[in-house]
Structure 1
Amino acid sequence: MYRARMRASRLKLLDPDLAPTRLRERLPQPVEIAELTAEPERRRRVVLKSLLSMWGKLSNPALTSPAERGAIVRNTLDELGGVFIKLGQLLALRNDLFPTEFCLALSDLHDRATAFPPGVAKRCLEEAYGRPLDSVFSEFESVPVAAASIGQCHIARLRKGGQLVAVKLQRPDAPSMFWRDIALFGSLLKPLSLLPSSELFNWEDALWELKDIVTEELDYRYEAAALAMFRKKLRKHRNIYVPQVFSEWCTPNVIVLEYIPGVFMSELLHTKETDPEKVLRWQQENHIELEEVGRTLLQSLYRQMFEEHLFHGDLHPGNIVLLRNNQVCLIDFGSVGRLDIDFLDSFHGYMKALAERDFENAILNMLSTSANLPNVGIDSLQAELLNAFRTWHRKTLVADLPHREKSVQALGDYMQPVLQRYRMSMNWSFLRMNRAFGTLDITIQKLLPTLDHPSEMKRYQKGAQKRARKKARDVRPSTLALIRNGMILRQHEEMNLSITNATNMRRVQQLEALRFKSSLTKMEFLVLSMMRLVQIGAVALGLAVVWAWLAQHVPQVQDAMRLHESRLGNFIQNLPQFAWWEGLLLLLFLGKALLSASRVITRIHETVR
């Protein structure tokens, strides 16, 4: 134990004394192992068949429940795996377009897959390191403890240093499989863009997000860099720990990090439902207060967003590990949200206004981050959103109400019908941040069922101000001289006055800018509607030309369609006869019209961005 503590101290690893006792005897759950197969042609057929089957089920008029629809989509994407799991996770963010029950069903997607054989894993590691596996690890468990569509995880012990580590190894066929599926999804975008309200989904942005996610997740160096960055930034966060990454043994398809012997939050929440007395005894043994843990997680997330400008994007219970003395370890940094300053300024203003119950200002800041503004007056939208905010606020004041009715996620539920009615969608940065709160809410609603979010936000604001004042104490001698002369005090008063005036002016400017952008959106909407009508008309007329020519010149088509002695047949026969080259010229003209309309639509979308 003494040697382990010395190594931990030297490498700044987790103190072994923080490892908690087991909550329950873990039953062995061996991961299923299967041989690697390469079948790209069959994959395309399977995907198309599954999507068509899903569409058929969703078209059933008897199906009215959003939860049932979400379950159908989730099961289909779960069976397809790979990129389609990531696509489902992106769609789960769109609570501005879909009902909450639908999004919750999709958020239950779990990326599980069969593992590849131990022999393949050993060969991949030796190829990555260019040396025998025994020269890197003194112990290596050949059977993985977990597997997903991108990779699998093994437990090992480093020969150099003797640390127990988790080794994440990428599937050899993952890059080809993922990029093949992305190409297939890209080919489906054209027909999807012709559907009504397709502009609300921002399919091209979704494809870009999907490519960005896959690019980072297929190169483990991104996660290794994120781990190192979060470990540095979160070191000052109270009771938060991030595992050490061993960069020496990390490659594009292998990442080695410190193994954390803790209890997963998912395990605790499950046991809390089935055996609460056991959880209470375990808390006493390990000096853990669940309310304190919940506040630690929420305050850390606020701080990650507004002070560090990047945040853990997937804080579901399976990525939170409990340690002794209310310590918490965060794992799996494959999903990291990064924020630019312009967006962060608006979102920070939004959260601060929520904390101060200044809902009018919160709505202005929220609308300034939107991907598109409504095609009607902005004032009526503000009035309806204000009613939604006030409804949410009234519920936050009732301590006995369940957390799900007054969480930040619940506020999105109240706004969703309004946003959908005004055909408005939020940008991806806002949705990613909302998802971070939503995934953490799974834990918060169990640990802090009576939490008042505005009060908790105000608690964060006070802490942030204290940290800012602490940084300001480290001043230069020249600044100290100004303080003695009283200049800093006068400058501070003048600055407060100017900030107040600037805030009032900014609110007016925001409202006028939103009204102006909304008026532009009306014209864009009119042009987009006309161009989509041109697209649909060109496709329909082209199909009609081909059908009419075949019906006039090919007897077999007439027989197959039973056009003889029918009104439709007489109508087609009475149409002017045209040669094949005349029909071809007409089709070329229609194709040109379709292409021109598509270019106009693309140009408008680029201008809006």
Structure 2
Amino acid sequence: MKLLALRRLLRILRVIIRHQLDDLLFSLPLPFWARLLRHALPWRWLPRRQPTLSRGARLRLSLQELGPIFIKFGQILSTRRDLLPADIADELAHLQDRVPPFDPAKALALIESQLGAKVEQVFARFDGQPLASASVAQVHAAQLKSGEEVVVKVIRPGLKPIIEQDIAWLFMIARLAEKASADARRLRPIEVVSDYEKTIYDELDLLREAANASQLRRNFEGSPLLYVPQVYWDLCRPKVLVMERIYGVQVTDLVTLADQRTDMKLLAERGVEIFFTQVFRDSFFHADMHPGNIFVSTRTPWNPQYIAIDCGIVGSLTPEDQDYLARNVMAFFKRDYRKVAQLHIDSGWVPKDTKVNEFEAAIRTVCEPIFDKPLKDISFGQVLMRLFQTAQRFNMEVQPQLVLLQKTLLNIEGLGRQLYPDLDLWSTALPFLERWMRERHSPKTVLQNLQSQVEQVPHLANMTRDLLERYSQPHSHNQAAPALKTEDRGVLRLLGAGLLVGAAVLLSGSPDWVNLSTWPAWLMGVAGLYLVVRR
């Protein structure tokens, strides 16, 4: 293993030297010892040509040369526009999600090993030539014995040892960069590598992707907006995924879409609607919506339907993040910058001690010029990116779920405007957000929330009983009763909230609130209020 790791390091160094990536590092403001190190590197003693390519292009070519793991790293890195300079992010976005396929015989052997049976026993037909090949897997067409056309996705063999070595070296490079440069620390390279490590290991488990696809399919069952292929769970394994084969037009094939007379305006608007439905209705969104994963059904071009594949990366938001995000966007388009600033503080995205006035002024300075453009020309994704970049100056902690959301929105918005250049994303999004906010605060939703709170009362009662028994134990006259712990205070506050909810439910069912018969509800409410506000 050590020999393999050393060979891998030598290859990485060879690529770095060939593309002069060390110049990128030494162009940063480095400490004295790091600048001295530059003169100790043997390859820098030789004459060096002036690079003809940009720094972003050299980085992209290096990642391509280092193979699938580094290609995938570059793809994920390209989504972190909140951390990268624009020129590098633009170049990394050009990395294609196609790499040379591996030996079909190895794919066949791995499939048979995972399924525990010969391919001929499982499939009526299996195509050895792959349909597509990506950085961590490739796809073969097949037909089940029952006649259904399917695709078989199989993980590249021998990836895990390479990933472990590459991740280890990436962490080492990230740690060195953080120690050497303040600019590098601002880019948080260790955090970026950590995100990549989690993502790449998740993508190696095809059962996780199958579960994501099943959930997304269930969310849009019968919808005219989006179709997600069926997963054949009996044939799915950690390294093999079998799902329905889809037939559609790749969403970037504008010529074919035009030839079949697709309603491009409706197609673009439906892409936006799908995004907001996933984010706000379901809190479960496909977070890898690049054009290679999106197709358009050929069945009803006048009523176009999207088809989504490759659900390896998904995102979700908490109800609090959903609410804060919707209110942020609506406040921004009303130019209520103070509310935007206050929402960032209330949500915990920036520190509580942030001065609202200073934060409001910074947001106004960055965002006000945007409104010189017509609404249809305002990039929704760029708005979010500007807001997050401004917030970072006030020590906003990176929110992974918001980064995924921003990346997905940028993809959807760019794709929508490619399909229909006059797409007014805001006029499509605003009615959805307003409707969602109304439904979120409707009496029906409030009642459902009350019901869920009431269901917690028995559990809270048991916790409170245990708590009271613990604190009712006798203590010596010299020993005071123990002070309430933070978690114990939390239990009492939750009990108080439950009592308040119960009182509200009882009083809402009474025709006359001011009545002697309602005294138990009022007593419950007073007790609940005391437990909530007590120190």
Both proteins in one fold, TM over 0.5: yes
**Equivalenced residues, count:** 429
- Structure 2 CA distance for partners of 1:104 and 1:386, relative to 1, 3 Å: same
2:253 counterpart residue number: 267
Match of 1:319 in 2: 293
Superposed, which structure 2 residues align to 1:388-537 within 5 Å?
Answer: 388-397=366-375, 403=377, 406-412=378-384, 414=386, 418=390, 426-464=398-436, 472=444
TM-score relative to the length of structure 1: 0.63
Q: Say which is worse superposed, 144-153 or 346-355, in terms of deviation.
A: 346-355
Question: Structure 2: which 5+ runs fail to align?
Answer: 28-48, 449-504, 514-535
In structure 2, the partner of 1:303 is 277
Q: Deviations over 1:294-344 (max 9, x none)?
A: 111111111211221121102122211101321111111011112234433
Check the 8 A contact 2:68/2:99 in 1, yes or no.
no
Show CA shifts across 1:57-111 (max 9, x none): 53698x9x9x933222222222223332333234323323434343222222223
Change (3 A) 1:417 1:348: closer
| Counterparts in 2 of 1:473 and 1:374: CA distance versus 1, 3 Å | closer
Q: CA deviation at 1:173?
A: 1.0
Match of 1:58 in 2: 24
| 1:48 paired to 2:33 | no
Q: What one-letter code is carried by the residue in structure 2 that aligns with 1:105?
A: E
Measured in 1, the distance between the counterparts of 2:446 and 2:346 equals 36
Deviation at 1:416, TM superposition (A): 7.7
- Provide the rounded CA distance (Å) in 2 between the counterparts of 1:465 and 1:425: 26
Matched with 1:192 is: 177
**In 2, are the aligned partners of 1:100 and 1:413 still within 8 Å (CA)?**
no
- CA distance in 2 between counterparts of 1:282 and 1:421 reads 49
Structure 2 equivalent of residue 589 of structure 1: none
Evaluate the alpha carbon distance shift between residue 482 and residue 364 of structure 1 in structure 2; reply closer, same or farther with a 3 A threshold: closer
Contact 1:81 1:111 in 2 (8 A): no
Root-mean-square deviation over aligned CA pairs? 3.7
Q: Secondary structure, in 3 states, of the residue corresponding to 1:197?
A: helix
State the SS of the aligned residue for 1:235. coil
- Matched residue of 1:94: which SS? coil
Range with greater deviation from structure 2 (249-258 or 80-89): 80-89
Letter matched to residue 298 of structure 1: V
**Residues 1:291 and 2:265 aligned together:** yes
Deviation at 1:199, TM superposition (A): 3.5
Q: Specify which structure has the bigger relative contact order, considering alpha-carbon pairs within 8 angstroms and separated by 6 or more residues.
A: 1
Report deviation, 1:417: 7.2
Match of 1:105 among 83, 91, 94: 91
What secondary structure sits across from 1:96 in the alignment?
coil
Q: 1:157–1:163: 8 Å Cα contact kept in structure 2?
A: yes
The residue matched to 2:365 in structure 1 has which SS?
Answer: helix
In the alignment, is residue 249 of structure 1 matched against residue 235 of structure 2?
yes
Indicate if the aligned counterparts of 1:352 and 1:457 stay in contact, CA closer than 8 A.
no
Deviation at 1:293, TM superposition (A): 1.1
User: Which deviates the most, 243-252 or 419-428?
Assistant: 419-428
Work out the CA distance in 1 between the residues paired with 2:121 and 2:178. Answer: 54
Q: One-letter code of the match for 1:227? A: A
Instruction: Please list every run of 5 or more consecutive structure 1 residues that lacks an aligned counterpart in the other structure.
Output: 1-37, 272-277, 488-609
How far apart are 1:347 and its partner, in Å? 2.2
Residue identity matched to 1:220: L
Contact 2:294–2:307 under 8 Å retained in 1? yes
Q: Does the residue aligned with 1:391 lie in a helix, a strand or coil?
A: helix
Residue 88 (structure 2) pairs with residue 82 (structure 1): no
| Residue matched to 2:136 | 150
Change (3 A) 1:458 1:76: same
- TM-score, normalisation: structure 2: 0.71
* Residues 138, 153 of structure 2: 8 Å contact kept: yes
Which range is displaced more, 213-222 or 323-332? Answer: 323-332
Q: Is the 8 A contact 2:15 2:62 kept in 1?
A: yes
Q: Answer yes or no: is 1:172 the counterpart of 2:183.
A: no
- TM-aligned CA distance change 1:407 to 1:225, over 3 Å: same
Moved more, 215-224 or 346-355: 346-355
Partner of 1:576: none
Distance 2:436 2:322 in 1: 15
Deviation for aligned residue 1:445: 1.4
